[in-house]
Structure formats: structure tokens, C-alpha cells
A and B are shown apart, each in its own frame.
Chain A
Amino acid sequence: MTSKYQHLYVVIEHEEGKPLPVSLEMLGEARRLMDRFNKKYSSSEKVVAVLLGDGVCSKLCEELIFFGADVVIYADSPQLRYRRNLVDTKVISQIARSRDLVAKFSDTSGFVKPRYMFFGADSIGRHLSSTVLAELESGLASDINKLVIEDLEIKHEHKTKGQTMKYEKTLEMYRPDFSGFLWTTILCLDNRNPAIEREYHPQACSIIPGVFVPIERDASRHGMILDYVPKFDEERDLQVKILDRKIVRSAVDFDSHKAIVSFGKGIKDLPEQNIKLVAELAKEIQAEVGVSLPISKKPFSISQGIDSTYMIPDRVIGTSGRKVAPLLYIAVGISGAMQHIAGMKESGFVVAINPDENSPIKDECDMFIRGRIEDVIPLLLEELRKQRPTIEVKK
């Protein structure tokens, strides 16, 4: 009999048939993990992409195979055009538990549920992963940026009743904490303590967008595409109605600016004055203003206008905010926590303004201006004004 838990299921997100970047990134990491897994354990477990949509699926299914999936299971229905947590959770859980589907691509003699499951850590995936794993009654780690599969020796008061036990094929899920300096490894483990015995699978996580690299698109890859006809309980599952759906663009516009000036906790000596300096610098070079995550938690009390303009989640650059890649990125008083770097490392030229040469940002910038913000920016502004090009740099 085969293992009760097999394969890695990746829940795909797309907008009108175009995959979100995080979906391809997850497939890339899933491919790498399962290639290593199958070699190490001489097995042939699959990367299974799970896709919900309405009439857009067949082309997308093929793409998902080109980007690393072995199998694509798609549920195609007008009811699944846009994401609704309730019905999506039901359908994904049905798919995860379906032996009939698994029978089409592997031996199902023991199959109960997937071994691993990935979701995107974004507006949709964060909630969807939570409800799906509540339904499947297993563990979930959020905002992961590193994954390893290992056989681990575990000794745990509750899980193993203090005994040392071997947990094979365990997914180590690494998540950076709010400071960006600590990494916590989360494991989802069966309770083997006889008093509370219980199996917890799939081992699931949500993955930070922009962290993993997709595999190179390979149109010669082959895979299996499976059509799943979802079952709805009309009364219960379809009661949420989408009345209107509007595409909006944030007032904060990182994409159409060539430069971004961001500030972090380093403004703390004179927060109000320093934010004004940052804004002035941004204006001079027609840049958008960004912030690091701690700033959005409003660590300083400053005048309401500046607070509500700048210290807001919309401006956060990093894994908890936006990913940007301007020509010029100026990091003012930003220490360079990993979660911020992940959001700006693709920038063309990076300048840091910081008094502390030991700050991690120094290894992430092309030019490190050593000095206090309140001293450096006024001088830099003067020099920029002296050299201001006669033809304005257009946005």
C-alpha cells in the first residue's frame, strides 16, 4: 500500500487566466523540492497544480506544466470566475481529498490527503490557505521564504511525549519574523503521543511573493491535465454574491516613477523634520516615497498630515508590501532587514544614507553615504539643484 499522504499540491492564483507571479514562483520551488525528494527517496511523487476558474483554464493549464507542474487539476465553472472564500475552500478541499483524481496519475491504494500544500501569502491565498487547512484539519505556516525537506529527529513534550522519534520527509518552513532579523522554522507534525494521537497532513504553508524563482518556461515539458467537476451546495456555498468589481490603482505609484526614496526607523532623531527632508528629496528628483514595514506601524507621533500621507501600509516596500525595481532607489535610515531588501533588490542603482557603516544595507547598495539624515539631505539637495538638468527628467 502506498503512503496515505502523497504529492505536493500548489494552489494557483490567476487574474482572468493570467497567473500571478507568485503562482509560477511556487511552482518553481515545488519543482526543485520534488525533484530532490524523488531522487532522495526513489519515489515519483508529483507537483500538482490546482486551479479554479471560468473558461480560462485550458491554456493556463498548459502554461503551468511548462512552468513545472506534473499534473494540473482544474475546476471550471461560472461560479468560480472570481475568488470567493467559501466556495473556493469547498472545491479545493474536495480536490485535495479526491482519490479518483489521484488514481489518474499514481497508485492510490493508501491515499488520504496531499503530503504538502502551497498557497501564495497574499490577499487571496492568506485567507484561502487558512480556511482550507481548517477544513482539512492540519497545520499551516504563513509567509514562508525558505523550504527544506528533511528526515528529522524530534523530541517534543506533546508530539512525542518526550521521546526522540524520527519524522521522515518533514517540510521545514522558514519564516522571517516582524523584525526581519530572526528566522523561525515551523514544522507540521503528527501527534505520536498516544494520549493525543492524531495525524496532521498536509504540511502546508503560504509563500511570500517575490522570494522564489520560477523555472525557465519549457514548452517541451509534458504533464497531465485533469478536469474536476465541482459539487456545490447551492443554498450554502453560493450565497456570497459579487455585485461589482472595480480595478483601482493605489494613489502611491511606484511603477511609473524612475526613482524611489524610502525611509525607515533611522529618521527617529527628528522624525517630522526628516520625513519632510525625504519628501523634499523625492520631489527634487521626481521620485515616489516608500517606507519600511516598521514605519507603517506608526512608531512616531508626528503631525496628522504627514502621518497619514507617509506612514501608511500602502507605501511599504518589502515582503509585507510592494516589490519595486526603479532605476534609482535611495534608502534613507533603512537598516536593510531581509524583508525590506526582498522588495527592492531588483532596483537599478541603490544609494543608502545611514550613519552606521555596519548596517546590513551597506551590502545592498552601490553608494553608501555615511552621515546623519538631517546633515546629508540638505547638502545633497543643494548639489542636486546646482546640477539640475536643463531638460527635466520626465516621470
Chain B
Amino acid sequence: MTTKTLNVAVFVKLEPDFSEGNVSYNADGTLNRAETKSILGPHSAIASNAAFYAKVKYGARVAVGTMGPSIAESALQQAQLLCDADELHLYSDRIFAGADTLATAEVLKAGIHKVEGGNVDIVFSGHRASDGETGQTGPQTAWKLGYTFLGNVIDYDVDLQSRLVRAKRLILLQGFYDVIEEIEAPLPVFISADPSYKAFFNTVSQRLALGKYQKEAKARAENYKQYLKVLNAQQLDVNPKLVGLPGSPTIVYKVERIPKAKASRKAEVVDGTNREQLAKVAARMYEVLEGMVIK
């Protein structure tokens, strides 16, 4: 076994909490951001779990990074609890505000250069944020870093000696079928974890390590500020022209309510407490289903 340790980093995002009781909607069905709490995004949590797997299995050093105002610290803390991070990085500067995915990727790239002198073997990100939902920031950061991007990863392992990653990817070919691909790529790589990613710890020693690191994670997350570094634009050495609004090719031009489409069907309204009417519904359902048999 080589003595060189594995360095991994994971990017996370603070997102609105869409769970019942925490999420609040306006009367028109749109999100009430002021009333909605924020949490570590669910896909960020999956990415953190993927990074934790590297810690348990390979003893990797883990860094977690996010871009945002100081409130985003809580995403770092929640991620630390999941992956026992050794360091937390908050990229925070007023000039980062309003960034689109390309300008965000520029900051995240600079962030990686600040982890272990830029010697990061694997970077993890979630599949997409549950608010922005573009899924573009991960692959764009990978490209800027010059890392091989592996998307939709459902499982991975690292051969520390040959410095190769083996991963399984789930690809949905809409209109055809799904494909599970097994691939091999040399480090460094950028992995975006599929929503169905799950870490498995099969051996006794892995399970022992799991318990140890989980305990450590809990203790660390309680004192997360000790592990936290806040970096501004200058400390990150980013070009102000390439970040925030000035560095964003795209703008949001307008936001409007989606106009109500023309009614595409004419509904017959049935009283759901009226047994007779429901008997007719049941009969109609069977007619529809049996229609297929004749075809």
C-alpha cells in the first residue's frame, strides 16, 4: 500500500427545507422564502455520505466547501456531522452574489486550490440543488479544474496503489431503458453522486472505523467553528471579473406565473361521498381498462 493518503473534498449547498412543516408556500403556490427554513440540501447530504465512505474505507482527509453568506455555515456544520470533515471552507464575499453556474464554478475551483495545496484526489458534489435544480455547477467546476467528471455515480471504490477509481454510473436513456455502466478512471476525478447512491460497509474493520468516525464527527460538528475557514475573493485569488454578476453570462430576465393552459380535457365532476356516483366511476374505470384488451 502506498503511504500517500487520499484527499477528498465535497461541495454542499444550503437550500430551502422542502419537508412538511418547514416549507411555506404563498397563496399562489410559489415558495415563501422568508418563512421557509434552510437546511443542508438532500443531494448535498448524499455527496457528504459519499465523501464519508472515502474516510471510512481509505482514511481520507475530508474538506467541505460551500459558497454563500455566513448563514451557509450551518450547511457546513450539518455536512461535517455526516462526513467527519477535517476542515470546513466558506467562500464568502459580497462580490460572489448573484452568480450563475459558470461564475459559481469559478469560485469553487479556487476553493479546491486552497485545500491541501490543491492536491485533492476526488471532489464530490450532489446531483443538483433542490431549489436551483440546474445540476450544472458540479460538472462546470470539474471542467475548470481539469478533473475528469463522472456523473450519476451510484457506487465507487479507489485503488490507492494504481490511483484508479472504479465507479458505477446510472444513466437513464429516456425512451429506451436505463444503463448501469462500470468505468475506470485515473485520479483526480470529480464525482457527482446519483440520488440513489448508498455507501455500504461490509467488513468488520470498516464497521469499526465507521463507529469511530461517526463519534468523532459528532464531537467535531459540535465545535465546528474550530474547523471553519472563511475565505473572501482576495484570499481565494479569484478574478473579480469572472465571479458574481460580472462573471455570469446569464441573467434572469423575468419571472412570471406560468399562464394557465387551455383546459385540455373537460372534466365531469363527481361527488366523492356519493356512493352511486362512485359506482359509475368504478364502472367507467373497468370499461377503460377492458378497452385495452380488445385492442
**A→B interface (CB under 8 Å):** 13, 15, 18, 20-22, 82-86, 89, 120, 122-124, 126-127, 129-131, 133-135, 137-143, 152, 156-159, 172, 176-189, 191, 193, 195-196, 198, 200, 209-210, 239-250, 258-259, 268, 271, 285, 294, 297-301, 313-314, 320, 323, 327-328, 335, 337-338, 341, 345, 348-353, 357, 360, 362-372, 375-376, 379-380, 383-384, 386-387, 389, 393-394
Contacts and interface: CB of A to CB of B under 8 A. Distances in A.
A389 B286 contact: yes
Given A123-B152, A372-B272, A134 B249 contact: no
B134 A187 contact: no
A183 B265 contact: no
B52 interface: no
Given A182-B258, A191-B246, A300 B281 contact: no
B236 to A, nearest CB: 18
Nearest to B149: A85
15 contacts: A131-B139, A139-B250, A158-B245, A178-B131, A188-B249, A193-B246, A196-B247, A241-B183, A313-B195, A365-B265, A367-B270, A370-B272, A376-B272, A376-B278, A383-B278
Contacts, number: 318
B195 to A, nearest CB: 5
B96 to A, nearest CB: 14
Interface stretch (B17-25, B61-69, B73-81, B212-220): B17-25
Interface in B236-285: 241, 245-258, 260-273, 275, 278-279, 281-285
| Most chain A C-beta atoms within 10 Å of own C-beta, residue among B42, B144, B278, B285 | B285
A298 B174 contact: no
Given A126-B136, A383-B281, A141 B273 contact: no
Nearest to A297: B18
A371 B30 contact: no
Given A21-B175, A131-B143, A285-B285, A123 B151 contact: yes
Nearest to A341: B261
A134 B105 contact: yes
A20 B173 CA distance: 7
Nearest to A394: B293
B208 interface: no
B140 A189 contact: no
Contacts of B30: 177, 179, 181-182
Please report whether the interface of chain B is mostly helix, strand, loop or mixed according to DSSP. Answer: mixed
Given A181-B28, A348-B288, A363 B265 contact: yes
Interface residues of B, number: 97
A338 B196 contact: no
A176 B256 CA distance: 10
Top 8 closest pairs, chain A to chain B, by CB: A371-B272, A139-B249, A363-B263, A130-B139, A376-B272, A200-B249, A134-B143, A139-B250
A282 to B, nearest CB: 12
B232 interface: no
A371 B288 CA distance: 22
A261 to B, nearest CB: 11
A3 B266 CA distance: 49
